[in-house]
Each structure stands twice: as C-alpha cells, then as structure tokens.
Amino acid sequence: MKMKKMRLFVLSISSAAAILCSACIHAADAPAAAFEQTKPLRIAQVNFKTVVEKSKLGQREQSAFDAMKKQMETILEEKEKSLTDVASRFNDIDYLDSLSPDAEAELKRQFRTLNQEFTQQQNQFYQTLSQTNMLVIQKLTEAVTKASEEVAKANKIDIVLNDESAFYIVPAIDISQLVIVSLDIAFEKESKETKPGASLLDTKK
C-alpha cells in the first residue's frame, strides 16, 4: 500500500516536471518582447542658465525676485540704522552720564528689543527669499521642460539633456535658442490672458 502511494507521488512529480519543461520550451519559442533600438538617437542639449537669463519669462521672474529682495533689504537697513543709533549712545559716556537710572534702563530695553526684532526679521527674510527662489526655479524648470518637449517633437529629437548633466556637449546640438523662442511665444500668449507683469511669485501658494 505504501509503495503504491509512493509511486503515485513520484508520478505526480514527474508529471509536474514535464508540464513545467513544456511551458519553458513554449516560452523559449515565443517572440522576444525585449526592446530593440532600430535607429540612431537624435540628442540635443539645453543650457538652462542661458534660457532663464535670455527668455522673457526668466527675465520677468528675475526682476520680480530682485524687487522683493530689494524691498526686504530696505526694511532691514532701516531697522539696522535704528539699532546702530541706539548702540552709538552706549559709546557716548557723556550722554550716559546725563541719563537717569530709569532712562538708562529704558535705553537698554529699547536696544534689546530692536536687536531681537532685527535678528528675527533677518532670519525671516532669508527664509522667505530661499523658499521663493526654490519656487521660482521649480516653476522655470517646468516651463523649460515643456518648451524643450515642444521643440523636440517639432524637430524629431529623441532626447533633450540639461547641459549641467553632461561633462561635454558639442555646441552644434544646443537648442537653447529654440527653447527660448518657444518660451517667449508662450509668454506672450500668457501675458494677453493674465494681468500685465504677473509673475510666478504672484501665483505662489
């Protein structure tokens, strides 16, 4: 009885092996699904820095960012001027001698308050500028990517590289100017649909 069961078990294993082997043979006979490159790739590159500096979109965003930075610097300069003015009084011995204890205490309190406000405002402005810069770079990258895709499709280009990702690129495959033209066309179209001078900074969330 045990021998019979053993034979059935062996037969089952043999049948399974045969089925598996048959499947492998059929799979080997099936057409290969691997990717095959049938034509030379057309590759181009874009100089992101050049595109940003020379495109109307990039120039507008740079101008808006500079204006924001200048405004913050002006506020900080005014605060720093007030702080310097109070600090200079501490260096004037005659002035300090003319103050009552309460007036001197008030001057020290004023200095601490101004110093704290200046430090907090400075940190806040730096953080805001950093976040805004990242946002603008992200938006510009998206715009350049879209323009590069449009240029690539129009010129049957397979791959468009950012010049920063390559050690050397032949100048002949640079399509930065074409991307700038594409960006400027989109910029003019957008300008007609939105308020004049609207920056990416105006639409940040």
Domain 35-203 has CATH 3.30.420.40: no
**CA atoms within 13 Å, Cβ hemisphere of 39:** 6
What mean pLDDT do residues 143-149 have?
Answer: 96
User: Which residues does 139 contact at the CB level (< 8 Å), separation at least 6?
Assistant: 61, 200
pLDDT confidence of residue 4: 45
- Predicted confidence (pLDDT) at residue 14 exceeds the cutoff of 60: no
* Residue 189 near residue 197 (C-beta atoms within 8 A): no
- Predicted confidence (pLDDT) at residue 181 exceeds the cutoff of 80: yes
The SS3 call for residue 107 is: helix
pLDDT, tens digit (0-9, with 9 covering 90-100), for 89-131: 877 888 777 878 888 888 888 888 888 888 999 999 999 999 9
- Predicted confidence (pLDDT) at residue 12 exceeds the cutoff of 60: no
pLDDT confidence of residue 16: 47
Q: Which residue has the tokens 């020290």?
A: 108
* Residue 138 near residue 61 (C-beta atoms within 8 A): no
